[in-house]
Structure 1
Amino acid sequence: MRLKITHETAYSYDTPVEALVQSLRLTPSSHEGQRVGDWRILVEGGQRGAAFRDGAGDWIEGWTVRGPIGTVRVSIDGLVETRDTAGVLRGHRETVHPLVYLRETVATKPDEALTELAHSVQAQDTLDLAHRLSAAIGEMAEFVPGVTQSQTSAAQFMEQRQGVCQDYAHALITCARVRGLPSRYVSGYLHSDQDGQPHDAAHAWAEVHVGALGWVGFDAANACCPDERYVRLGSGYDAQDAAPVRGMAFGTGAESLDVRVHVEEQ
């Protein structure tokens, strides 16, 4: 599948700030499931700084914007060729050992309910366990936008049984780690409509390390593994660690965001 992605984030400040420094994880890596073609990042009024590939195989760019700044836009325009690998991440170059992803974070700290859920799942092998954990989380919750926030933890999601893709991913990561499976959060895009029209499609899912098979993606919110509709951006311990945009504004102005993402088949 050939996918065109446009992604714009506008940062506005009620009082102009002196400067803005950003770290962008907004360039997909090429691997067997995707090949990145023309890909452009533009930070309005910004100056590109250092760039590097981190240990997880993600491309990181630094940008600086000098003020005074009232509004700044980060824009992406790119093409990606994708194919279905049944969720298996093949040909992705990284150096971080999988066991690092057993690390617990605030968002993925297990409570009694998550621990009980994780141990209630019986499976024939590790891959089957990962599939069954993903299915169990998908069945116990309802996809409802707007009822959780960026800081909502897996335990809070488990308590209210409602949330969005970020929450499902955190819950699966938590349960998988309880069962001793290295797991991580993945940010990206999803082409999810059938009529060829652009669709708002920033998305997130989890990857679980399954022995010799390596990293396998699981989208508990959609009860599937990533296929040709998915574009993988980057990964981390949780949503905050895998955030596509991180930054710091120098000033006292309150910040507001407007994010627009479209994915369409070419």
Structure 2
Amino acid sequence: MHLHISHETVYDYDAPLSRSTQYLRLTPRRSRGLRILHWGLALPAPASSCADAFGNTMHVLSLDGPRRDIVLRAMGEVITDDGPPRPDPEDELPAPLFLRDSVLTRADEALRGFAAGFADAAKADAHGALLMLMSAIGERMPYLRGYTDAATPAAEAFQTGRGVCQDHAQVFVCCARLLGLPARYVSGYLATDAEHVASHAWAEVRLPDAKPEDDASSMAGGWLGYDISNQCLADGRHVKLAIGADYLDACPVRGVRTGGGLETMRAEVLVKPGTGDQQ
């Protein structure tokens, strides 16, 4: 699938902003099934580039002097694999790294009890159990805005019983780890029919290696993406930006500031098909 992507994030302040540092994960993560044709960032000042602890491309933008807004733009074209989702066995990070909990994915008794209901199924068929888990989270936590925010932990969102893609991904990741399966949070983009949407989030789980009795078509031996909000596996419509233990590790934009008073933020993402697929 040939996709054009544009992403604009705007911060407005009701008082002069004296200093700001923004950590930007706005460059697609190179992975199997993704080819970047071109990509660029339009920022209010030059930014330094590095790889973060999870291998994501991160730009650090520092701004000094009084200002009333910050405008961040990312844009480019990518080619994604249109084939059916399959586990990816290649990864530069050790899978056990993603068995550890984190600030936003720490389990409470309610989540432990919920995940325990899938333990027997996970021992027999990890992928099948994860599909059941995905469906159960979708039923228990309808997609509704306004009940959680970026700082809401998985346990709190689960108790609330509502949430958005970020909450769905973090609850799923928490439960998968409780089942003994390495799992991580993914931020990125999703091609939809909507004109303007926000960035998206889903989860990836490292499925156990295939057993001798498994057939060649079984889902085993690699990382596979689960989009809980849309009740599907991550496919050619999904473009990965960053991975991490939770939202804090992989969010597209995160920063600190001095001054500025009240901050308002708006973000728009446009993902649309290209004029023709390129080989």
- Confirm or deny a common fold (TM above 0.5): yes
- Give 2:55's match in structure 1, choosing from 47, 54, 57: 57
Distance 1:259 1:76, change over 3 A: same
TM-score by length of 1: 0.90
Distance 1:57 1:93, change over 3 A: farther
Q: Which runs of 5+ in 2 are unaligned?
A: 210-220, 275-279
Matched, 1:260 2:229: no
Matched, 1:222 2:224: no
SS in 2 for 1:47: coil
Partner residue of 1:17?
Answer: 17
Q: CA RMSD in A?
A: 1.9
SS in 1 for 2:250: coil
Partner residue of 2:101?
Answer: 104
Q: State whether residues 186 and 242 of structure 2, in contact with CA within 8 Å, keep that contact through their aligned partners in structure 1.
A: yes
Q: State whether residues 118 and 179 of structure 1, in contact with CA within 8 Å, keep that contact through their aligned partners in structure 2.
A: yes
Amino acid at match of 2:130: A
1:109-120 matches, within 5 Å, as 109-120=106-117
Higher strand share: 1
- Give 1:233's match in structure 2, choosing from 230, 235, 241: 241
How many percent of aligned residue pairs carry the same amino acid? 38
Partner residue of 1:35?
Answer: 35
Partner residue of 1:247?
Answer: 255
1:174-253 matches, within 5 Å, as 174-193=174-193, 198-212=195-209, 213-251=221-259, 253=261
User: Residue 19 of structure 1: CA displacement?
Assistant: 2.3
Amino acid at match of 2:224: V
User: Residue 109 of structure 1: CA displacement?
Assistant: 1.6
Distance 1:105 1:5, change over 3 A: same
TM-score by length of 2: 0.86
- Give 1:71's match in structure 2, choosing from 59, 69, 77: 69
SS in 2 for 1:35: strand
User: Residue 204 of structure 1: CA displacement?
Assistant: 0.3
Q: Measure the CA separation in 2 of the matches of 1:191 and 1:57.
A: 24
Q: How many residues are matched?
A: 260
Q: Measure the CA separation in 1 of the matches of 2:129 and 2:77.
A: 35
User: Residue 32 of structure 1: CA displacement?
Assistant: 2.1
SS in 1 for 2:46: strand
Amino acid at match of 1:231: V
Q: Measure the CA separation in 2 of the matches of 1:160 and 1:10.
A: 29
Q: Which runs of 5+ in 1 are unaligned?
A: none
Distance 1:252 1:10, change over 3 A: closer
Partner residue of 1:137?
Answer: 137
